[in-house]
Amino acid sequence: MKRNTLLYLAMLLTVFAKAQQNPVTAGGVATGTNGNVSYSIGQLVDDTYTTGSYTITQGLQQPYEVVDPLPLQLLSFSATLQGKQTLLSWKTAHEQNANHFEIERKLSIDNSFSFLASIKAKGNSSEELYQYADNLLTAGVTYYRLKEVDNNGQNKYSQIVLVNLKSTSVTTLKVYPNPVITQMNINFNASESKTYQLQLIDALGRTVISKQVACLLGNNTINWNVAQLAAGEYTLKAVGTEVSPIKIIKNN
């Protein structure tokens, strides 16, 4: 019995000596003095020893911890209309792996979002509040979304928020002559100096002509040559205003 006990202790010492030669850092294949074996995370098995009626498999149980920063938590994201600007606010937590935020914007007339601004992440584990003011707001609906970019380049988007700036800058809109053959005159009264976008839309809903018009405070008259248009019915629309679209008849 004493002989077997001494043999058992000697074999245990061999276990720890060989385990130090092959520390476990991940799953894979371990190389020992007696060959190669596959092992899983946290466990290494090298050899099996048999003597008499005793069989011992030498190995090492080792705890293994995967350290991965908690993902950034976006607690809130909002857009608030303040006068003629949008105040964007968002609150985060657990920013250990965050690099920066990108604000994207889309106007009601746009087909896709475009880049507006980039804000560096503070990288703190506590809750953080960010704010950004969009001073380039135009009349109509404007959509915003937030892109969170991690240090490894991965990203994800927030929900979409919006504001609606109602315009009172154009109080009247008139067109003459109507029907028109070659040239039509557009008259409207503006309460501020700015550039407006006018669109002519055909019966299928397609924008056939789009025109940027720089207007001054008060009455403005725009001369628009439409001789190249095919005969038919069109709609004149002042984008970003509350003025109702006007039906235009084009004759040859």
Q: Considering the entire predicted model, what is its pTM?
A: 0.45
Structural domain spans, the chain:
2-61, 73-165, 170-250
Fold of the domain built from segment(s) 170-250: Immunoglobulin-like (2.60.40)
pLDDT of residue 59: 52
pLDDT of residue 180: 94
73-165 and 170-250, same CATH topology: yes
Of the chain, the end-to-end C-alpha distance in Å amounts to 117
The highest-level CATH class for domain 73-165 is mainly beta
pLDDT of residue 43: 46
pLDDT of residue 97: 85
* Cβ-based neighbour number of residue 222 at 10 Å: 16
pLDDT of residue 32: 53
pLDDT of residue 44: 46
| Contact partners, residue 188, CB within 8 Å, separation at least 6 | 170, 171, 172, 173, 174, 215, 219, 220, 238, 243
pLDDT of residue 24: 47
pLDDT of residue 147: 96
| Contact partners, residue 203, CB within 8 Å, separation at least 6 | 232, 233, 234
pLDDT of residue 194: 83
pLDDT of residue 137: 79
Query: Can you tell me the distance from the alpha carbon of 188 to that of 171, in angstroms, rounded to the nearest whole number?
Result: 7
Write out residues in the chain with pLDDT < 50, as ranges: 6, 9, 12-13, 15-25, 33-34, 36-46, 49, 54-57, 60-70
HEC string for the chain: CHHHHHHHHHHHHHHHHHHHHCCCCCCEEEEECCEEEEECCCEEEEEEEEECCEEEEEEEECCCCCCCCCCCEEEEEEEEEECCEEEEEEEEECCCCEEEEEEEEEECCCCCCEEEEEEECCCCCCCEEEEEEECCCCCEEEEEEEEEEECCCCEEECCCEEEEECCCCEEEEEEECCCECCEEEEEEEECCCEEEEEEEECCCCCEEEEEEEEECCEEEEEEEECCCCCCEEEEEEEECCCCCCEEEEECC
